[in-house]
């Protein structure tokens, strides 16, 4: 889940994945009838768009995750210039808007070859999105049957680049033999990064599911050096971490923030602050939801790619969506952190426990 792409191959432009995702999502809007349905209305509010898609396409939009998908889709269409604000704050379809971002077939083949795992994950999500909007259950969960899907997504070059940036910001300040918690370690790519850069660190790994343990351990040169905490000891987001106060010098938390429910998010970060020692570091990797003023997330293709990512991963169990950067800053402060670095379009954050953090 980051806001940058890996360095392009010589045959591919930068932001190739974001361009292809934009093309695919716009095709979805056209082929499902969403575009014609909205274009046929003189103007519409977000709520009216939800009602129109419910009645016109049979979408089951009475629950928050599916209704939110439509709001994300409207923000995406606005960012692409296909819908524009009307004189009274409503939306209007921009009938004359051009669509200059088609990806030609040859380039698409090259992108899929270079970013196969990432694109396979998003292809599966997009292929299922219509059925999910019609009321079918989530496509992927966090059981053993979905681990390969998460490995494909989280192991891609885009995330690897952002993960390396976070590691460079997070690890150099750790003291010798620092105590580091990797929270929600998933397929284990963060553990590999720490093992490579700081083999002297004492690392604790915790996830809310045991499904990832075997795959994560298999990626490490010395899995026995990790303190693996039984997932059964933690009830997941909204429950206390199974550690005493001030247990760690650093906590690394990557690609899991969008799965925290809004009502639980401040509690989660307060509890992370609790288990950190004074001055301890928190490293967070996550997209930020593109902001209308374009201050936090400014690049057009990063914005469009983030909207696409948010919409597509919504078909996964527990997805809550990306959070806006300004609200995240305020939350971190309330939770007891001091912001030190935020970079890569507000996708990589380094924070430290404030003097008065509890």
Per the model's pLDDT, the better-predicted residue between 7 and 218 turns out to be 218
pTM: 0.93
- Residue 224, judged by CB atoms within 10 A of its CB (0-12, 13-18, 19+), counts as exposed
- In the chain, pLDDT over 70 holds for what percent of residues? 93
**pLDDT of 286 over the 60 cut:** yes
Closest Cα partner for 283 from 203, 158, 190? 190
* pLDDT value of residue 6: 41
pLDDT in tens, 3-22: 334 444 444 567 899 999 99
Tell me the mean pLDDT in the region 50-68. Answer: 96
Core vs surface per residue 303-325: b (16+ CB within 10 A) or e: bbbbbbbbbbbbbbebbbbbbbb
- By mean pLDDT, which of 139-148, 166-175, 188-197, 256-265 is the weakest? 166-175
pLDDT band at 87 (very low <50, low <70, confident <90, very high): confident
Task: Provide the pairing of β-strand 276-285 with 348-353.
Answer: antiparallel
231-235 average pLDDT score: 97
pLDDT score, position 2: 36
Measured CA to CA in angstroms, residue 69 lies from 80, 265, 280, 311 at distances of 16, 20, 36, 6
What is the pLDDT at residue 8? 41
At 221, list the tokens: 């040169």
Phi first, then psi, for residue 279 (nearest 5°) are 80, 0
State percent of the chain over pLDDT 90: 82
Residue whose token pair is 């095709």: 27
Average pLDDT over residues 296-304: 95
Mean pLDDT within 19-47: 94
Q: Are 256 and 318 in contact (CB under 8 A)?
A: no
pLDDT for the residue 243: 98
- What pLDDT does residue 12 have? 56
pLDDT at 173: 63
Q: What is the 3-state secondary structure (H, E, C) of the chain?
A: CCCCCCCCCCCCCCCHHHHHHHHHHHHHHHHCCHHHHHHCCCCECHHHHHHHHHHHHCCCCCCHHHHHHHHHHHHHHHHCCCEEECCCCCEEECCCCCCCCCCCHHHHHHHHHHCHHHHHHHHHHHHHHHHHHCCCCCCCCCCHHHHHHHHHHHCCHHHHHHHHHHHHHHCCCCCCCCEEEEECCCCCHHHHHHHHHCCCCEEEEECCCHHHHHHHHHCCCCHHHCEECCHHHCCCCCCCCCCCCCCEEEEEEECCHHHCCHHHHHHHHHHHHHHEEEEEEEEEECCEECCCCCCCCCCHHHHHHHHHHHHHHCCCCCCCCCEEHHHHHHHHHHHCEEEEEEECCCCEEEEEECCCCC
Burial class (CB in 10 A: 0-12, 13-18, 19+), 356: exposed
Please give the Cα distance from 140 to 146 (Å, whole number). Answer: 6
Structural domains in the chain, CATH included, are: 1-153+299-317 (no CATH), 155-286+322-353 (3.40.50.150)
pLDDT higher at 96 or 344: 344
Nearest to residue 238, comparing CAs of 170, 313, 306, 320? 320
The radius of gyration computed from the CA coordinates of the chain, to the nearest angstrom, equals 21
pLDDT band at 156 (very low <50, low <70, confident <90, very high): confident
Averaged confidence pLDDT in the chain: 92
Q: Which residue is associated with the tokens 């305020």?
A: 330
Residue 168 has pLDDT above 70, yes or no: yes
Does residue 266 surpass a pLDDT of 90? yes
Q: What is the mean pLDDT of residues 133-159?
A: 94
Decide if pLDDT at 183 tops 70: yes
């Amino acid at each position: 889940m980051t806001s940058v792409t890996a360095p392009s191959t010589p045959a591919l432009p930068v932001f190739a994945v974001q361009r292809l995702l934009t093309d695919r999502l716009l095709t979805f809007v056209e082929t499902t009838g969403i575009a014609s349905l909205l274009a046929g209305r003189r103007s519409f509010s977000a709520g009216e768009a939800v009602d129109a898609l419910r009645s016109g396409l049979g979408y089951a939009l009475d629950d928050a995750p599916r209704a939110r998908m439509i709001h994300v889709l409207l923000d995406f269409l606005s960012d692409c210039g296909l819908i524009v604000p009307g004189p009274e704050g409503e939306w209007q379809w921009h009938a004359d808007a051009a669509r200059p971002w088609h990806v030609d077939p040859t380039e698409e083949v090259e992108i899929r070859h270079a970013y196969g795992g990432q694109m396979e994950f998003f292809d599966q999500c997009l292929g299922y999105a219509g059925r999910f909007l019609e009321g079918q259950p989530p496509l992927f969960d966090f059981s053993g049957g979905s681990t390969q899907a998460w490995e494909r997504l989280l192991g891609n070059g885009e995330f690897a680049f952002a993960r390396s940036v976070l590691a460079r910001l997070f690890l150099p300040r750790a003291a010798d033999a620092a105590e580091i918690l990797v929270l929600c370690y998933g397929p284990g790519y963060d553990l590999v990064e720490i093992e490579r850069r700081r083999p002297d660190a004492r690392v604790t790994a915790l996830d809310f599911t045991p499904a990832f343990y075997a795959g994560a351990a298999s990626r490490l040169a010395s899995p026995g050096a990790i303190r693996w905490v039984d997932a059964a000891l933690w009830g997941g987001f909204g429950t206390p971490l199974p550690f005493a106060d001030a247990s760690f010098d650093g906590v690394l938390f990557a690609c899991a923030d969008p799965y925290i429910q809004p009502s639980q998010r401040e509690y989660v970060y307060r509890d992370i602050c609790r288990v950190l020692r004074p001055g301890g570091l928190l490293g967070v990797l996550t997209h930020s939801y593109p902001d209308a003023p374009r201050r936090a997330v400014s690049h057009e293709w990063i914005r469009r790619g983030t909207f696409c990512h948010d919409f597509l991963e919504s078909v996964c169990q527990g997805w809550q969506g990306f959070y806006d950067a300004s609200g995240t800053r305020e939350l971190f402060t309330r939770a007891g952190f001091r912001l030190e670095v935020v970079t890569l379009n507000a996708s990589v954050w380094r924070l430290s426990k404030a003097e008065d953090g509890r």
